[in-house]
Amino acid sequence: MHGGHMLIEEHMQFSSVLVPSNPGFVLTKIVGTLGPKTHSVEVIGECLSAGMSVARFDFSLLKADYHQGTLDNLKTAMKNVNKMCAVMLDTVGPELQVLNATGNPIELNEDAHVCLTPDLLKAPSKEILPINFPDLAKVVKKGDTIFIGQYLFTGSESTTVWLEVLETVDQDVICLVKNSATLAGFIFTMHVSQVNIDLPTLTSYDKQVISTWGTVNNVDLISLSYTRHADDVKELRAFLQSQDLHETQIYAKVENAEGLEHFDEILQEADGIILSRGNLGIDLPPEKVFLYQKSTIHKCNLAGKPAIITRVMDSMTGNLRPTRAEATDVANAVLDGADCILLGAETLRGVYPVEAIRTVGSICAEAETVSNQPNQFKAIVKHVGEPMSHDDSVASSAVRAAIKVKAGVIIVLTSSGNGARLVAKYRPPMPVLAVLTQFQASSSALTVTSQVRQLLLVRGIYPIYEDLIVDGESASSEKSSLKLAMSFGRSAGIVKNFDRAVIFQKIRDSFVVKIVNCCDY
């Protein structure tokens, strides 16, 4: 098991812990799910100012028209507060559901029996629950556990029921109710623990959403729900190519035991990983979730690919403050090496979306101050091995130099963002200002800006877009790029005049490193 790197100096006094925090920057990124409570321009603007750098659009419930209105408001909010934000489309995937056409509350009592049936013509009741999966009876066996509820949408356990399979009769599954609960609403998620469901990961509905809403809005990222195999990622990649979404990145959402079994191959194919602890917490025994979290994040760190953790602040869906356990959970995710924290119900329908983002940011910043970066650095260098490639050698040297000279910032001059990702891979303790320059008249500004936004998911990177195309010719210069970076850094409170900066840039076919004084720019 890896992860949980923490550095506490022996002479640290508890009195210093009580000093109010005043972080100048936060390295860990925050993904916010936009919805009913975060639909208006004003609230979205507050979320951006509080620290949200990625907006997630979940198509499990809300439809394209609603999401389009929210996205339009996001674009306005970005202009109002002068902040960039990446757009993530979250697919539905092979989601099993209980359908309650009437919407009337259904009371289930402990030790009672209930029948799960694919016959959607039957009225839902405490004895019968219609489901959208006709083959359930073929894949379950006596003793299997089935979860039903809205916990994954609301963050509340009060609408959750656990069932134990007793027997199957033709297409029906007879279950024992393990706890009393009231199912309220029209749709409830159904999850069968550690049972492989033979349904396509990329559904026809997902393809329709991507080919319309995703294409029109040129989305930056797609979260592929219920990723179980590397072929799932390959299939989506091919579909994106067919839709001319060549630059859209794929984040594999791993949410069951089957996905964990094939994690290494999935990681190799995906651009990043989302560890969906909501479903994982149902599919796995609770005591196993932290083990998989630490292991998978560590693997992502070694591969230099972003790792995103979900389900951290469920109580803030209805409360102003998180529980102590939740606050500790967020900090431990940062110490494990997470690049991003994803908020779902907390910002989608929570009462305190802005406060949730701000709270997560504060906890992340505090954890970053005690993160054992030297251990993480050594582990990645060891994993890369020898002989290192020239690019890895120079990138790791840039981070090592920045630490040795106590640089305030690393500035990466790049045309694609790859140089910035390479530096961030070695987990520098200071921010990385990535200046992406559109060098050629033939290059697409849309492509470059998408590459800039995609960097908003990578720990520590603050991306900046520099458009230097003048009358079809490049007006690029190193000095102008550095001035732009320094100006941005000062306005964001990252760079101070007395700081040193390490510069990492590609000249012809090689990356080079040098050290400058910020006051010179």
Confidence at 155, pLDDT banded by 50, 70, 90: low
**Average pLDDT for the chain:** 90
CB 279 within 8 A of CB 152: yes
Report d(CA 29, CA 26) in Å as an integer: 7
How high is the pLDDT of residue 479? 84
CA–CA distance from 9 to each of 6, 371, 483, 487 (Å)? 10, 11, 36, 34
Which pTM does this prediction carry?
0.92
φ/ψ bin of 146: left (φ > 0), alpha (ψ from -120 to 50), beta (otherwise): beta
DSSP at 266: H
Q: Helix %, strand %, coil % for the chain, to 5? A: 40, 25, 35
Q: Is the pLDDT reported for residue 444 higher than 80?
A: no
CB 28 within 8 A of CB 342: no
How high is the pLDDT of residue 358? 97
Q: Is the pLDDT reported for residue 20 higher than 80?
A: no
- What are the helix and strand counts (H, E) for the chain? 20, 24
Picking from 472, 449, 458, 386, the residue whose alpha carbon sits closest to that of residue 422 is 458
How high is the pLDDT of residue 216? 96
Confidence at 507, pLDDT banded by 50, 70, 90: confident
pLDDT tens-digit map of 257-297: 999 999 999 999 999 999 999 889 888 988 999 999 999 99
pLDDT tens-digit map of 241-265: 999 999 999 999 999 999 999 999 9
How high is the pLDDT of residue 513? 86
Confidence at 393, pLDDT banded by 50, 70, 90: very high
Report d(CA 519, CA 521) in Å as an integer: 5
pLDDT tens-digit map of 456-492: 999 999 999 886 544 444 445 788 889 999 999 999 8
pLDDT tens-digit map of 36-78: 999 999 999 999 999 999 999 999 878 999 999 999 999 999 9
Q: Is the pLDDT reported for residue 212 higher than 50?
A: yes
Strands 272-275 and 249-254: parallel
Q: Is the pLDDT reported for residue 13 higher than 60?
A: no
Percent of the chain scored above 70 by pLDDT? 90
Class of residue 514 by CB neighbours under 10 A (exposed 0-12, middle 13-18, buried 19+)? exposed
The tokens for 478 are 């190193």
CB 165 within 8 A of CB 140: yes
How high is the pLDDT of residue 156? 56
How high is the pLDDT of residue 470? 42
pLDDT tens-digit map of 158-193: 678 999 999 999 999 999 999 998 888 888 889 998
CB 333 within 8 A of CB 312: yes
Percent of the chain scored above 90 by pLDDT? 71
